[in-house]
Chains A and B, each alone.
Chain A
Amino acid sequence: MAGRQLLMNFPVTANSHTLAEYRARGGYTAIAKALREMKPQQITQEVVAAGLQGRGGASFPTGRKWQVVVPGDGQPHYLIANADEGEPGTFKDRWILENAPHLLVEGMLLTAYALDARHCFIYIRGEFDLPYRRIAGAVEEAYAARWLGEQIAGSGFSCDLIVYRGAGAYVAGEASGLISSLEGKKGYPRNRPPRLTVRGLYQRPTVVNNVESLANVTGIIRDGAAAFRAVGTEKSPGTRLISVSGHVNRPGVYEVELGFPWRRFIDEDCGGVLGGRAIKAVVPGGISSKVLTGAEIALLALSHEALWDVNSTLGSGGMIVIAEGTCMVHLLQIMLRFYHHESCGQCTPCRHGTGWMHRIVDRIVAGEGRPEDIERLYYVAKYNDGTTICGLGDAAGFAAAGILDKFRDEFEYCIEHKRSRYEGRIECLRS
C-alpha cells in the first residue's frame, strides 16, 4: 500500500456502496455534526486550513475557491461536482462514483452548506454507465433517508441534488464548458473574467469541484483539518487517487499518500513494468501534463511540489507508464488525434492548432516527414499556449512540446529514415 489511505479505507464488496454500509462505516456523521455545531464559514475555514488542493487537474486550493462565494448575499449559489472525467488516462473519479457514492454526496452536502447553495448538480459523463447507476442510486437512497431535500437532519438547511448526464465531450469537463452544457447550450468554455465563483451557472456564483476534492471534504470535516494535514507532505496534504494504465503488471486505481516515492509505487503497488522492462517515460497526470522520462522519475516523490519542480504536474491523477521500446512519435499521434477530435472549435488557436499538429505528426508517422516539421510543431505549441479561452487548448501544446523536448531524436530519426525507430510500437506484450 502506498502510504496511508483516506478514501479507499474500506473493503470493496457487492454492497459496500450502499447507504446502509456507508452508515455503518460512520457515514453522514460529518454532515450531522456540521449542521448541529458548525457555521458555514467554519466549514470553509476548516477546508482552507486543511490545505486541500483541487484534484481535477489545476490543483487550485479548494477552500480559496469557496471563499469567493459569500453565503447569504441574497442570490442563489450553485455547487457542481465535475464527474465528467475525460482526461485520457484518468479513471479515478469513477472509483468513487462506483464504490463510495455516498462519500461524494456527503461531501457535496457539506460544501453546499458552506456555500449556502440550495441546489447542487453532479455533471457525469455520458459514457459512465455503472458509475451513473451507482450515484443515481445513492442520491435516491439519500433522498429516501432525508439526507437530501427539505430541512436535512431537522436543521434549517435544505439541499437538492440533481444528477445530469453529459454527452461525452472532453471540453464539457472544463468548468465553464460544463456549465454551458448544463445550461443546455453547446459546451463552449467561457472567457474569464467573470470568474465562475462570481458569475457561473445561470449567471450566479458557482463552485465547480472535482469529485475527489468533494469526497475529501467529508473526511476533513469529520476528522478535522489537522488529521488531514497529518497525511501527505507540507505543501501537498492528503492523498491522491492515481489511476494507473499503460505498461504495468497491475493497472488500476490506487490511493497514494502524497510524498510517496514514485518508483516504489510503480514497482510495488503496480507490480512493476510489463516484462520487467525499463521505464521509458511516464505521463504523470493525464496526457495534458508534461511527460517525464524514466530517469526523471527515478528519485521523484509523488507530490504536487515535486512535479512542479520538474515542470510538470500531477494533473488529474491519470498516470500512464510507458516501457522502453515504445514509439513516442506514434504516441504523440494518438494524443493529438484526441485533441483534434475533442477541440470544441470555439477559439481560433485550438480549433486550427490541434488539427495542424495532428496532420503534421500523421505525415511524419506515414514516412513523409520534413526537416522543418519539428520546428513547426513547436511553433503551433507555442502560440496555442496562453492564447486560448480555456486551459484545454493550451494542453495540446503542452503535450506536444513535452514529448518533443524529451524525445526529439525519435522524431528526427522518423523524419530522416521515413520510419519509426521502434516500428511504431505502442503495445507492449508480456514477455
Chain B
Amino acid sequence: MPEILINGQKFEAEAGQTVLEAARAAGIFVPTFCWHPQLSTAGNCRMCLVEVEGRGLDIACNMPVSAGMRVLTDSPEVRAHRRAILQFITLNHPVDCGICDKAGECSLQDYHYAYNGEASISAEPKVRSTKYYNLSSRILLDNERCILCLRCTRFTHEISKSMALGVESRGDVSVIRPVADRPLGDDPYSDNIVDLCPVGALQSRQFLHKTRVWYLEPTPSVCPGCARGCSVNIWHRKPEWHVKTLDPAQNQSIARVTPLENPAVNGPWICNKGRDLARIFERRRATEPMLQGSPVALETALERARELIGAARHPLALVSNWGSNEELDAFQRSLGAVFTAYVKSDSVPQPGERLEDELLIRADKNPNSAAARALYADAPARLPEGTDLVLVWGEGCDFGALPRGARLIFLNAYLAPENGHADVFLPTSVQTERDGHYTNFQGVISGFHACFAKPSGALDAEALFRSLAAPARVHA
C-alpha cells in the first residue's frame, strides 16, 4: 500500500491505482472529460493535469501511484493549465447551451463555472462542422459540440463491441463518424453513448428538445424488459414544475430513462429497450371494471368475481411474471390455496429484438420469472380439461387455448379486445404507479418506486387479490 501525499495530506493508495483513482477514492475531485472508470484510458482531454512535485505537470488518469509521491491538484500552475484547457476546448465549441439538451448536466458547463469562469479569449471565427448528423434512428450527432473525448468510440469498441464509431479526418476538423457496414442502429446498447457524452454532442432523438433537464427528477426503478432487471432512473417532471396548461399529460409521462449504476446487476449501462419503457407503460390504459364488456362499479365486479371463485370446483390461475414479489406473495397468501396456479410469460421476444448476449440482454423478456417460478410451475401448453374457472393476470395469454366453457376473470392494465370477453374484468396499475421489488435471474432483488399516480379506476393487483379472498372494502 503506497502512501502518497495529495495537497499535503497523506493517503493510503492501492498498488496499481492511478493518481486519479487514488485522489477520487480520497474524496479529492480531479476534473475529467475523457476518463471513465469502465473504459480504457485515453488521456486525450488533458483536463486532469496535476502537478507532481519535482516532476512537473502530467495527467492524473495515466499516472501510476508510487510511494511518497507528492501530488498537487489545485496549485496555481494546475489552475492556470485547467483554465487554458477549457479555453482550448471552448475555442471551437459553439457554447449553444441555450438550445442544448445537455445543459444542466454538462461537464463542460460545470467545469467552466468551477475552473474557468471567463469567456473565450479568442477573437477568431470558430471551426464549423456538421449539425444534426444522423448516426442512427435513435441518435443525432452535433460535431461542433463534440470535444473528441472518444468515450463513444471506446464504448462501441470495448463494451458493446459493435465497433460502430470511429474518427474521421484529423486535427480540429476531426469528426466522429459511423464505420462503414457497422450501423450504430444495430447496436442495442447505443443509447449509452448519449449518457457517456460529457457534452451535448450526442443527442437522443427521443429526448431531443423535449424538456430542460432541471425540470426533471429521477425515480429509481427496475427495467422490466428482460430477466436481467437492470436498475434504471425514470425521469419525470418535478412536482413543482408540473405544467398546468397546454399538455398536462406531460406530468404523467416518462421523459427519459437512464441507467442507475448497480455493480451487482448492470454496472453503469442499460440497453436501448430500457430507454423505451414509455412504449410499454404509456399504452392506452383500461380504467373501468367490466362484466362481459359492460362497465360496472368496482364493488359489483368484485362481488361477481367472488361468486365465481366460490362456485368453481376446479379453478386455475395464470400468474403474471411481471408481478412484483409483493404481488406474488399477496396472491399466494390470499388465493394460493383456492387456485391451481401456473406461471405465464407476459412478454415474448419481438421480431428483430436481440435474444441474448454476454453483456446484459437475457432471452427471458420478463422481469420477475425467478420469483414466480419459485412459487409455481410454468403453464403447460394444454391446460387441464374440466377446469371451470380461469383467472388470468396480466398480458400474454393465449385465450384460444383456455379450456372450453370455463369462466374467465381477467386482470389487465391496458386496453385490449379480450378485456370485454371476460366474465369479470379488473383494471390494474402498472409498475411506474406503485412500489415493489423484482428478483432477477441471478437472484438479486431490486426495488422500484412509484413515479406517477394511478389513473382513476385502476387498482393495485395486491389489493385486488386480498379483496377477492375476503369481502373487505377495496379503496382505489
A residues lining the B interface (CB < 8 Å)? 169, 171, 186, 191-193, 340-349, 351-356, 359-360, 363, 370, 376, 379, 382-383, 386-389
Contact = CB atoms under 8 A, between A and B. Distances in A.
8 contacts: A348-B88, A349-B88, A355-B92, A376-B121, A379-B121, A382-B84, A383-B84, A386-B56
B176 to A, nearest CB: 11
A346 B91 contact: no
A352 B59 contact: no
Nearest to A347: B44
Which 9 residue pairs of A and B lie closest in terms of their CB atoms, listed nearest first? Answer: A383-B84, A345-B174, A191-B43, A343-B171, A352-B88, A359-B124, A355-B172, A352-B91, A345-B171
B41 A353 contact: no
B50 to A, nearest CB: 12
A295 to B, nearest CB: 32
Interface string B49-64: 1000000110100111
Q: Which of B47, B49, B62, B171 has the most CB of A within 10 A?
A: B171
A341 B171 CA distance: 7
Nearest to B86: A348
B22 interface: no
Contacts of A379: 84, 121
Given A345-B172, A347-B44, A379-B121, A191 B59 contact: yes
Nearest to B169: A345
Contacts of A347: 43-46
A351 B89 CA distance: 9
Given A345-B172, A355-B172, A387 B85 contact: yes
Interface in B137-154: 147-148
B281 to A, nearest CB: 42
B122 interface: yes
Q: Which of B46, B62, B85 has the most CB of A within 10 A?
A: B46
Nearest to A344: B170
Contacts of A169: 170
B81 interface: yes
B147 A345 contact: no
B123 interface: yes
Contacts of A382: 84
B300 to A, nearest CB: 70
Contacts of A370: 123
Contacts of A360: 124
B171 A386 contact: no
Contact of A345 (B47, B91, B123, B148): B148
Contact of B147 (A171, A343, A348, A387): A348
Contacts of B91: 352, 355-356
Contact of A387 (B49, B89, B127): B49
A377 to B, nearest CB: 12
Given A186-B167, A191-B59, A347-B46, 17 more contacts: A342-B170, A343-B170, A343-B172, A345-B169, A345-B171, A347-B44, A348-B47, A348-B148, A351-B88, A351-B148, A352-B91, A355-B92, A355-B171, A370-B123, A376-B122, A382-B84, A389-B44
Interface of B: 41, 43-47, 49, 56-57, 59, 62-64, 80-81, 84-85, 87-89, 91-92, 121-125, 127, 147-148, 166-167, 169-174
A346 B44 contact: yes
Contacts of B147: 348
B46 A349 contact: yes
B85 A351 contact: no
Nearest to A373: B123
Contacts of B166: 186
Contacts, number: 98
A349 B85 contact: yes
A340 B174 CA distance: 12
Contact of A351 (B41, B57, B123, B172): B172
Contacts of A354: 171-172
Nearest to A351: B172
Contact of A348 (B46, B123, B170): B46
Contacts of A192: 62
A227 B222 CA distance: 76
A16 B34 CA distance: 53
A171 B62 CA distance: 21
Given A193-B64, A356-B124, A349 B170 contact: no
Contacts of B170: 169, 171, 342-345
Contacts of A356: 88, 91, 122, 124
A392 to B, nearest CB: 12
A342 B88 contact: no
A349 B92 contact: no
A387 B81 contact: yes
A146 to B, nearest CB: 42
A191 B62 contact: yes
A352 B64 CA distance: 28
Contact of A191 (B41, B89, B174): B41
Contacts of B46: 347-349, 387-388
Contacts of B124: 356, 359-360, 363
A63 B150 CA distance: 37
A187 B49 CA distance: 23
B62 A383 contact: no
Q: Which of A186, A344, A345 has the most CB of B within 10 A?
A: A345
B308 to A, nearest CB: 69
A331 to B, nearest CB: 20
Nearest to A186: B167
A354 B88 CA distance: 10
A348 B86 CA distance: 9
A359 B124 CA distance: 7
A349 B84 contact: yes
Contacts of A344: 170-171
A343 B127 CA distance: 15
A398 B429 CA distance: 68
A351 B59 contact: no
Contacts of A389: 43-44
Q: Which of B81, B84, B122, B148 has the most CB of A within 10 A?
A: B84
A388 B49 CA distance: 10
Contacts of B63: 193
Contacts of B45: 347-348
A30 to B, nearest CB: 40
Contacts of A340: 171-172
Contacts of B80: 383
A169 B171 CA distance: 11
Nearest to A356: B91
Contacts of B88: 348-349, 351-353, 356, 383
A340 B171 CA distance: 7
A387 B89 CA distance: 13
Given A193-B62, A359-B124, A387-B81, A352 B172 contact: yes
Nearest to A370: B123
Given A376-B121, A383-B81, A342 B171 contact: yes
Contacts of B43: 191, 347, 389
Q: Which of A354, A379, A387 has the most CB of B within 10 A?
A: A387
A400 to B, nearest CB: 15
Nearest to B93: A352
Q: Which of A376, A383, A388 has the most CB of B within 10 A?
A: A383
Nearest to B84: A383
A352 B89 contact: yes
Contacts of A359: 124-125
